Amino acid sequence: MERRKTAGEMSAAELAEVLTRVREGDADAWGELYRQYAAAIFRFCRRALPTKEDAEDATTEIFMKVRQKLGTYDSSRPFTAWLYKVASNHCWDTLRRRRIRQDLETGDLETLPLEHPDPSQLEKLQIDHTSKEVRAALAKMQDRARMALVLRYYADMSYDEIADTLGVRRAFVGVLLLRARHQLRDVLAEGMPGARGAAAGSAS
């Protein structure tokens, strides 16, 4: 599975060599590894967490964890998959710690029936909104919904990986993604005067 691209291109052999040197305590190699992946991880955190400050703090903390846990990385698997797993676990832990109250307030939303989408309104929503607006809308979404979208459509994680990260059953991941898409449409539609629920047609 292809993950998000990193800053520079490092071949598999180069990466393996750098990882070996990092494990041996080589500070230069650690700097090299960090420079290679820090920007990508920051961008991932920026999408997964609601504020820039959170993303900055999380990036630093994730790399601290990576350095501690590098011994547990299985080199037969892609490094970026492992790195994104560490990052997503960290972000989800961060969000979960803050989530208790939010869940109490919004728990009912999870059980509300979804409205059937109107394909033409869906198209209009896509035309009317820039990437920046979509990302701003993400910050307003519930943590789990945002996290699900980012893990699936930014980090290219499989349903199994998402289920593992978010601590839900695999069968529930699809529901989570569908509800997240609905929530995103609603948040975007709220920004357009008189367009609340624009993407929804009749109740399914």
Partner 1 sequence: MNHFDEMTALLYLEGQLEPERAREVSAHARECGQCRELLGALEREGVWLRQALEAEDESVPARLVEAPERGTPWGWIAALGLSAGGAYTVWTGIVDPWRAQAAQSGFTQSNLLTMLFFSGTFWKGWDAMRSLTEFLAMSTLTIVVSWLLRRHWRRLTTAGMVVGAALLFTLALAAPPAGAAEVKHGDPNFELASGQTVPTDLFVFAQRTTIDGDVDGDLIVWSQVVTVNGHVKGDVICGAQSLRINGTVDGNVRSFAQSVDITGTVGKNFMSWSGETNLESKASIGRSVTLGSNDATLAGKVGGDVLAMADTFDASGAVGRNLTIRSDHLTIHSTADIKGPVKYTGKNKPEISQGAKMGPFQQVIPKTRPRYERMRFYWHRVLLWGVGFVFGLVLLLLMPGFYADATGACRKYAPAAGFGLLFLFATPIAAIIACATIVGLGVGITTLLLYIIGVYASTVFVAGFVGEALLGPSTGTGAAIGRLALGLLITHVLRILPYVGGWILFIMMFWGFGAMIMAIYKRLRPQLAASAAA
Q: Which residues in this chain contact partner 1 in the complex, by CB under 8 A?
A: 4, 30-31, 34-35, 38-39, 42-43, 46-47, 51-53, 56-57, 59-60, 63-64, 67, 97-98, 100-101, 114, 116-117, 119, 122-123, 126, 129-132, 134-135, 149-150, 153-154, 159, 174-175, 177-178, 181, 184, 204
Smallest distance from the beta carbon of 84 to partner 1, in angstroms? 14
Smallest distance from the beta carbon of 13 to partner 1, in angstroms? 22
Q: Measured from the CB atom, is 76 or 101 closer to partner 1?
A: 101
Q: Measured from the CB atom, is 82 or 154 closer to partner 1?
A: 154
Smallest distance from the beta carbon of 82 to partner 1, in angstroms? 18
SS (H, E, C) the chain: CCCCCCCCCCCHHHHHHHHHHHHCCCHHHHHHHHHHHHHHHHHHHHHHCCCHHHHHHHHHHHHHHHHHHHHHCCCCCCHHHHHHHHHHHHHHHHHHHHHHHHHHHHHHHHHCCCEEECHHHHHHHHHHCCHHHHHHHHHHCCHHHHHHHHHHHCCCCCHHHHHHHHCCCHHHHHHHHHHHHHHHHHHHHHCCCCCCCCCEEEEC
